[in-house]
């Protein structure tokens, strides 16, 4: 029923789009056939694939970097209350700074290459993963800790058998948010200064009033997000089979 509703809504949106495209000029709202023809054009000459892969690489690199930084720090903060209390104000303050304001600074520091875009993506990934890892570790049942202590479990056994299973569902929720934001971060970096990537392609299309190309770039971004989400959902199903059974 859910899939049927999604199909109906998609067809309705498509019909509305096509209908409105007959009212407005193509540079305002291009028709679906016009967008499709433009997509074929940039696919055949390799332009779209090149920019798509650049953004995908920057987003994925930033996501991995943000996760590698957030998970160990989240574990330390969950285990050391004094560290969590000391770091909380700085984390809250840093989250209040828009990433659009930080991107130019990172580009000045690290140059116009992919490094600055990866770091922007890593920053926006870092905070949701950090927060969810802390919440996930706090969600473990205190009575389970007492039981593990009575059974003489080692620190590694407590981590492997109790803390990881308790935290993983919450951590994966943070990973989903972080993965989506990593694409946004890469695009923000490309908007600020870049000569490649989907963000650059969007800037070029907007400057030339090439609205069909702009639509192609936006749909490509949505496709990238869906691909990332599908891969992460597959990993979650493999690592958390009990969560699938519960749902």
Range of the domain at 202: 32-84+101-139+167-246
Cα angle 208, 210, 216 (rounded to 5 degrees) comes to: 135
> How many domains are there within the chain?
1
The predicted model scores a pTM of 0.84
Structure confidence at residue 245 as a pLDDT band (50, 70, 90): very low
Instruction: Give the span between the Cα atoms of 211 and 217, in whole angstroms.
Output: 10
Contacts 24+ apart (CB under 8 A), 147-155: none
CB–CB of 90/148 below 8 Å? no
Is the residue at 23 inside a domain? no
CB–CB of 138/172 below 8 Å? no
- The encoded tokens of residue 22 equal 């007959």
pLDDT at residue 61 tops 50: yes
C-alpha closest to that of 30 among 209, 204, 203, 200: 209
What would the mean pLDDT of 131-149 be, rounded to a whole number?
A: 80
Is the residue at 120 inside a domain? yes
pLDDT digits 0-9 by tens, 181-229: 999 999 998 888 778 889 999 999 988 888 899 999 999 999 999 999 9
- What is the CATH number for 78? 1.10.3720
pLDDT at residue 168 tops 90: no
Instruction: Give the span between the Cα atoms of 39 and 36, in whole angstroms.
Output: 5
CB–CB of 126/66 below 8 Å? yes
Is the residue at 153 inside a domain? no
Is the residue at 8 inside a domain? no
pLDDT digits 0-9 by tens, 21-57: 778 887 888 888 888 989 999 888 888 999 999 999 9
Is the residue at 71 inside a domain? yes
Structure confidence at residue 231 as a pLDDT band (50, 70, 90): very high
Is the residue at 4 inside a domain? no
Is the residue at 148 inside a domain? no
Q: How far is CA 197 from the centre of its chain?
A: 16
pLDDT of residue 244: 56
Write down the residue that tokens 């109906």 correspond to: 8
pLDDT of residue 101: 79
Is the residue at 123 inside a domain? yes
pLDDT of residue 246: 47
pLDDT at residue 154 tops 80: no
């Amino acid at each position: 029923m859910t899939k049927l509703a999604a199909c109906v809504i998609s067809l309705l949106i498509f019909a509305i789009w096509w209908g409105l495209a007959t009212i407005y000029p193509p540079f305002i709202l291009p028709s679906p056939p016009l967008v499709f023809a433009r997509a074929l054009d940039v696919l055949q000459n390799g332009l779209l694939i090149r920019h798509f892969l650049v953004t995908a690489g920057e987003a994925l690199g930033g996501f991995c970097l943000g996760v590698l930084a957030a998970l160990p720090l989240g574990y330390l903060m969950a285990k050391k209350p004094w560290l969590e209390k000391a770091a909380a104000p700085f984390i809250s303050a840093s989250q209040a700074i828009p990433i659009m304001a930080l991107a130019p600074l990172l580009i000045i520091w690290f140059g116009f290459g992919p490094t600055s875009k990866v770091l922007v993506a890593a920053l926006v990934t870092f905070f949701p993963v950090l927060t969810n890892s802390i919440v996930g570790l706090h969600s473990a049942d205190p009575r389970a800790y007492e039981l593990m202590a009575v059974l003489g479990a080692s620190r590694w056994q407590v981590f492997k058998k109790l803390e990881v299973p308790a935290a993983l569902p919450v951590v994966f929720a943070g990973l989903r948010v972080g993965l989506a934001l990593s694409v946004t971060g890469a695009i923000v970096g490309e908007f600020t200064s870049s000569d490649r990537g989907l963000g650059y392609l969007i800037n070029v299309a907007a400057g030339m009033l090439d609205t069909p190309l702009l639509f192609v770039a936006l749909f490509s971004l949505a496709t990238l997000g869906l691909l990332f989400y599908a891969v992460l959902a597959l990993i979650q199903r493999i690592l958390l089979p009990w969560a699938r059974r519960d749902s």
